[in-house]
Structure 1
Amino acid sequence: MTLIKSISGIRGTIGGKVGDNLTPIDAVKFAAAYGVWLKDQRHKENYRVVVGRDARISGEMIQNLVMNTLVGLGIHVIDLGLSTTPTVEIAVPMEHADGGIILTASHNPKQWNALKLLNSNGEFLNGAEGAKILEIAENDQMTFSEVDNLGIITKNDAYIDIHIDEVLKMPLVNKQAIANAKFKVVVDAVNSTGGIAIPLLLERLGVETVKIHCEPNGDFPHNPEPLKEHLTDLSALVVKERAHLGVAVDPDVDRLVFMDETGEIFGEEYTLVACADYVLSKTAGNTVSNMSSTRALKDVTEKHGGSYEASAVGEVNVVELMKKTNAIIGGEGNGGIIYPELHYGRDSLVGVALFLSLLAEREMTTSALRATYPNYFMGKKKIELTPGLDVDAILKAMEERYKNEKLTTIDGVKVDFSESWVHLRKSNTEPIIRIYTEAPSQNEADALGEKIISEIKAIANI
């Protein structure tokens, strides 16, 4: 059982001892620290925070604790109830709120939950802001409101519909072409809030929808991370129903994966590639993804005359670089689409609408579309080191070893070769170096990873 406190929020397993797990006391303490930080930042008379949750079994309990903690600080709460991460993100500025909290552990199993924290733009906090909240929580720097100054809770369950309205208003969503294509789509929402939002969106687009695992009861029928090995039910049903494609999302609906008409995975890395291909075909511009995402996005961007840049891993870093480079679309290779036309956050509803527009306009099957993109294969390995070893020194030695190659060192060490790349990152919590590789074949990607592990072991004498 685990409690992880980081600059991006607090997450852990439900139950157990205070400080070791995500207990009610830990949820209250961290929510209070966020509320105190928010009041220190904003300096105004009335404060408003939007709160929503995915369908986890613990969600209602944690949400009630968080909301009433904010009430105790004199903060008014807009309660979205069952929602999605991108829905809460767009609700914050629409409500002119000072911030937002999403109760979700994303793709983690059902025993996990977390508090994800947003600023007044509906975007994730940066490192300095997160660190300040941790400091407030650790030092118990909380003063609560007196009885006449308590906040109030206002329920608003319309925001998934509002979110869909906003997606359908986007100029690049070709509603007519999608309706004319008469798509049949199978949706696996792992029994969370994507089971509400994605079918509603598809219905509004005139798409015939077959639902599997769309009951938002938090009883995840398989590992909630939308990877090929977890989506066997979806694959079988796509084939059985003779559907045009399958759609899978994680519990809070910010990761999106497609499956082609044969039941084969489109590739989580290629969700962003396809959506960017569509957007760039309509609008000239630049793209951003993180350093561990596929090179195919760079290839597609340059094909359309744009430029591509890679950020450090983490959504907040992707967003920061997108703003700096005026990128028109970006995201992460785990199936996260960030399209600033609507908001700066990973949004599966946006991804579904853009992907279906692309498929409808090109009048091709999902598998045929996938075949139009460069084919890369990824490997993910890790090497565990003795706790006494200096991980930074090892990475510095690898940087020196490859100094004649194209290097990026903003987040560990990334080496770009002509046909492949390797990215080395250290863990923040344990003596581990994570090794990500990409190459034109799986064998080459795996071999590159093994080669790097051998070199690290030689440097570290292990």
Structure 2
Amino acid sequence: MTLIKSISGIRGTIGGRPDNNLTPLDAVKFAAAYGQWLRAESGKTRPRVVIGRDARLSGEMIHQLVAQTLVGLGIDIVDLGLSTTPTVELAVPGEGADGGIILTASHNPKQWNALKLLNARGEFINAAQGQRILELAAAEDFDFAQVDDLGTVTAHDAYMDIHVDEVLDLELVEADVIRKAGFKVVVDGVCSTGGVAIPKLLDALGVEVVKLYCEPTGHFPHNPEPLKEHLADICAKVKETGADFGIVVDPDVDRLAFIDETGEMFGEEYTLVACADYVLGKTPGNTVSNLSSTRALRDVTQAHGGTYRAAAVGEVNVVATMKDHHAVIGGEGNGGIIYPASHYGRDALVGTALFLMLLAERGITVSALKAGYPQYFMSKKKIELTPGLDVDALLARIAERYKDEDLTTVDGVKIDFPEAWVHLRKSNTEPIIRIYTEAGSQAEADSLADRLIAELKELSESA
């Protein structure tokens, strides 16, 4: 059982003992720390916070604990109930709120939940703000409101529809063009809120929807991370129904993956590549992704005359780099699309609409679209951390070993070889070291990953 306290929020497994897991006491403590910070940050004695959650089984419990803790601090709540991460991000500025909290552990299995914390722009808080909240939580430095000054809770259950409307209003989304294409699409909503939000969008775009696991029960029918090994059911359903493609999202709907018409993975790394290809064709400019994302985005960006830049892993880092370099689109290779014309947050609804526009305009199959992009192959592996392991020292020894290569150390260690790369970093959300590699073939990518895993184990044993 695990509790991870980071600058981006608190994430843990439900049950067990306080300060070791995400228990009710931990939920209250960190909600209070966020509320205390927000009052100081906003300069208001009665700020407003938007709260929404995914459908996981612990969601209602954590939701009530967090909301009522903020009420106890004299903070007013706009309660979206079942929602998505990008919907909450849009609702914060939409409601003129001072912050937001999304209750979701994203791609983690059902025993996990988390508090993901937003600022007044509906964007994730930065490192300094996150550190201050951790300090307040550790000190339990809270000042709760008197009885006449308690906050209020206002339910607002229309924001998924508002979100869909905002996507339809984007300049590069033309519903009539998509409607005329006559698409048939299978949607795997992993029994969470994507099973509601994505079909709402597709219905509005005139797309025929075949629903798979779209009831938001929270009983995830498979591992909720949208990776090939978890998606046999939708791959079969696309072929069985003769659909044009399949759409898979994670429980909070900020990651997006596609299945082609043959039942094969389009590749979550290529979600951003395809959406960027469409956007760059209409609005030339720059792109950003993180250090663990495919080189194919760089290639497509340069083909459109733009400049590509890599950021440290983490949405807040990607967003900061996008703003610095005026990127017209960006995101992460895990299927996260960030389109500033909508908002600075990963958004599977926006990504779905952009992808549909690209297919409708080109009039080709999803497999043909993929075949037209530079072909890279990625391996994503991990090593479980053992207690007491000095990960930073271990990665420093790897960096020293490869100091003569093209090396980046702003986020773990990335080694760029002429025909491949490897990125080693400690996860922000799980007690693991992630090992991502990319090469010209799957065998080469897997071999490179296995080589670095062996080197990590060798160095850890000799430490």
TM-score grouping bracket, smaller chain normalisation: over 0.9
Which residue pairs with 1:3 in the alignment? Answer: 3
Tell me if structure 1 keeps the 8 A contact 2:425–2:434. Answer: yes
Tell me if structure 2 keeps the 8 A contact 1:57–1:218. Answer: yes
CA distance in 2, matches of 1:430, 1:65: 24
CA distance in 2, matches of 1:197, 1:385: 36
CA distance in 2, matches of 1:97, 1:426: 33
Which residue pairs with 2:256 in the alignment? Answer: 256
The alpha-carbon distance between structure 1 residues 305 and 430, as it changes in their structure 2 partners (threshold 3 A), is closer
Correspondences of 1:119-198 after superposition (within 5 Å): 119-198=119-198
Instruction: Give CA-to-partner distance per residue, 1:82-101, whole Å, 9 cap, x none.
Output: 10000000000011100001
Instruction: Give CA-to-partner distance per residue, 1:176-215, whole Å, 9 cap, x none.
Output: 2111100000100011111111001000001011101000
Which residue pairs with 1:281 in the alignment? Answer: 281
Which residue pairs with 1:102 in the alignment? Answer: 102
The alpha-carbon distance between structure 1 residues 228 and 460, as it changes in their structure 2 partners (threshold 3 A), is closer
Which residue pairs with 2:231 in the alignment? Answer: 231
CA distance in 2, matches of 1:7, 1:403: 30
Tell me if structure 2 keeps the 8 A contact 1:413–1:424. Answer: yes
The alpha-carbon distance between structure 1 residues 429 and 30, as it changes in their structure 2 partners (threshold 3 A), is closer
The alpha-carbon distance between structure 1 residues 452 and 56, as it changes in their structure 2 partners (threshold 3 A), is closer
What letter corresponds to residue 89 of structure 2 in structure 1?
A: E
State the 1:437 CA deviation.
1.0
Correspondences of 1:347-426 after superposition (within 5 Å): 347-382=347-382, 391-426=391-426
State the 1:446 CA deviation.
1.7
**Which 5+ residue runs of structure 2 have no aligned equivalent?**
none
CA distance in 1, matches of 2:426, 2:4: 17
Tell me if structure 1 keeps the 8 A contact 2:71–2:150. Answer: yes
Identity %: 70
Instruction: Give CA-to-partner distance per residue, 1:330-364, whole Å, 9 cap, x none.
Output: 11111100001010000000000000000000000
TM-score by length of 2: 0.96
Instruction: Give CA-to-partner distance per residue, 1:421-451, whole Å, 9 cap, x none.
Output: 1112245799965322100001111222233
CA distance in 2, matches of 1:167, 1:89: 14
CA distance in 1, matches of 2:322, 2:435: 25
CA distance in 1, matches of 2:230, 2:430: 27
Once the two structures are overlaid, the 10-residue window that deviates more, 196-205 or 432-441, is: 432-441
Tell me if structure 2 keeps the 8 A contact 1:387–1:431. Answer: no
CA distance in 2, matches of 1:285, 1:198: 28
State the number of aligned residues.
Answer: 462
The alpha-carbon distance between structure 1 residues 188 and 457, as it changes in their structure 2 partners (threshold 3 A), is closer
Instruction: Give CA-to-partner distance per residue, 1:361-406, whole Å, 9 cap, x none.
Output: 0000111111111111112334578767654444334334433332
What letter corresponds to residue 5 of structure 1 in structure 2?
A: K
Tell me if structure 1 keeps the 8 A contact 2:45–2:74. Answer: no
Tell me if structure 1 keeps the 8 A contact 2:39–2:46. Answer: no
Instruction: Give CA-to-partner distance per residue, 1:131-184, whole Å, 9 cap, x none.
Output: 111111111100100011111111111100000111011111121211110000
Q: Secondary structure of 2:116's match?
A: strand
Q: Secondary structure of 1:380's match?
A: strand
Which residue pairs with 2:82 in the alignment? Answer: 82
Tell me if structure 2 keeps the 8 A contact 1:90–1:163. Answer: yes
CA distance in 2, matches of 1:358, 1:87: 23
Which residue pairs with 2:18 in the alignment? Answer: 18
What letter corresponds to residue 378 of structure 1 in structure 2?
A: M
Which residue pairs with 2:304 in the alignment? Answer: 304
CA distance in 2, matches of 1:243, 1:457: 45
CA distance in 1, matches of 2:223, 2:433: 25
Correspondences of 1:435-446 after superposition (within 5 Å): 435-446=435-446
What letter corresponds to residue 305 of structure 1 in structure 2?
A: G
What letter corresponds to residue 86 of structure 1 in structure 2?
A: P
CA distance in 2, matches of 1:16, 1:2: 9
CA distance in 2, matches of 1:71, 1:409: 42
TM-score by length of 1: 0.96
State the 1:28 CA deviation.
1.0
What letter corresponds to residue 350 of structure 2 in structure 1?
A: V
Alpha-carbon RMSD: 1.8
Which residue pairs with 1:247 in the alignment? Answer: 247
**Which 5+ residue runs of structure 1 have no aligned equivalent?**
none
State the 1:249 CA deviation.
0.5
The alpha-carbon distance between structure 1 residues 14 and 399, as it changes in their structure 2 partners (threshold 3 A), is closer
Instruction: Give CA-to-partner distance per residue, 1:100-123, whole Å, 9 cap, x none.
Output: 011111111112111111000000
The alpha-carbon distance between structure 1 residues 27 and 453, as it changes in their structure 2 partners (threshold 3 A), is closer
CA distance in 2, matches of 1:189, 1:457: 38
